[in-house]
Copies of this chain bind each other. A is one copy, B any other.
């Protein structure tokens, strides 16, 4: 169950409106690695943990915090849109700044949301749960979380560099710090799980059932041997259960597949036609 308080976790006040930057900032609200993604990803992972304890609690702590980040960003976007102009070509032609705004802002910020934030990215693409994962396997999912926080902090850093507004920078410096924490926390949790389970997910699948002769092999499918220089091509594997090796000229192990014809009721191209010979087949009624 959730309680909301109306105060913000941190300040979200720009020095001045900037509808172009409002559009860009949407990326970290409703983009692939925006705050909606991490909020719902952590909450669903938390709800699906089978058993309680510190991992579930950590997920719920962080999921609830990310909801507060959506709130801060939505507030910031609404303020960046304060008094945003609308207009047509005539308006654009008269004033190059308004022209730049009309070209660069998301038109839906005026037409659809009435100068409010949207659950969408910087191209106006609405958020979709296709972005997130909760698999029931925590090591897999914490890696998803570490990735999300890495991509997210990278995007916030790029946005920080793209504005001169001190109020915006102040809020972004908060988000950068929180992403630093979140990367650190998932790294700590991953380390712990890897120590308990070994590093390959899922750790409980019996190794003897996989085709172990290629479990540590790098196949060189792209000409040039630069990749052979990497740690991944020689020495003990990271899971300490094998030794990396490098195959310079990989060959196929199975022959060309030949599929059986489909039954008549599927109305595929008839086998005689597929064979591509010149034996005419009667032109329509069989």
Do A71 and B53 have beta carbons less than 8 Å apart?
Answer: no
The closest CB in chain B to the CB of A178 belongs to: B214
In the assembled complex, which residues on chain B have CB atoms less than 8 Å from the CB atom of A89? 18-21, 97, 100-101
The residues in A between 54 and 106 inclusive whose CB is less than 8 angstroms from any CB of B are 54-58, 60-65, 67-68, 70-71, 74-75, 78-79, 82-83, 86-93, 96-97, 99-104, 106
- Which residue in B49, B64, B253 is a CB contact (below 8 Å) of A9? B253
In the assembled complex, which residues on chain B have CB atoms less than 8 Å from the CB atom of A202? 153-154, 157, 267-268
Question: CA–CA, A184 to B154, complex, Å?
Answer: 24
**Interface residue tally on A, bucketed by range:** 35 or more
What 0/1 readout, one digit per residue, does chain A (189-201) give for beta carbons within 8 Å of chain B? Answer: 1011101111111
In the assembled complex, which residues on chain B have CB atoms less than 8 Å from the CB atom of A197? 269-270, 273, 281, 283-284
The closest CB in chain B to the CB of A207 belongs to: B285
Do A184 and B259 have beta carbons less than 8 Å apart?
Answer: no
Do B11 and A259 have beta carbons less than 8 Å apart?
Answer: no
- The distance from the CB of A286 to the nearest CB of chain B, in whole angstroms, is 6
22 residue pairs from A and B, CB less than 8 Å apart: A3-B3, A5-B222, A10-B253, A20-B89, A23-B107, A48-B113, A50-B261, A54-B227, A55-B230, A58-B218, A75-B259, A86-B265, A99-B103, A107-B122, A138-B273, A150-B201, A161-B265, A176-B211, A177-B211, A178-B215, A200-B284, A202-B268
- The distance from the CB of A48 to the nearest CB of chain B, in whole angstroms, is 3
- The distance from the CB of A64 to the nearest CB of chain B, in whole angstroms, is 4
Do B111 and A193 have beta carbons less than 8 Å apart?
Answer: no
Question: CA–CA, A198 to B192, complex, Å?
Answer: 19
- The distance from the CB of A105 to the nearest CB of chain B, in whole angstroms, is 9
Do A102 and B231 have beta carbons less than 8 Å apart?
Answer: no
Question: CA–CA, A124 to B220, complex, Å?
Answer: 33
Kindly list the 10 A-B residue pairs having the minimum CB-CB distance in the complex, ordered from nearest.
A114-B136, A48-B116, A103-B103, A7-B252, A60-B222, A123-B124, A64-B221, A86-B162, A119-B129, A103-B104
- Which residue in B12, B33, B139 is a CB contact (below 8 Å) of A269? B139
- The distance from the CB of A146 to the nearest CB of chain B, in whole angstroms, is 5
Do A135 and B108 have beta carbons less than 8 Å apart?
Answer: no
- The distance from the CB of A229 to the nearest CB of chain B, in whole angstroms, is 5
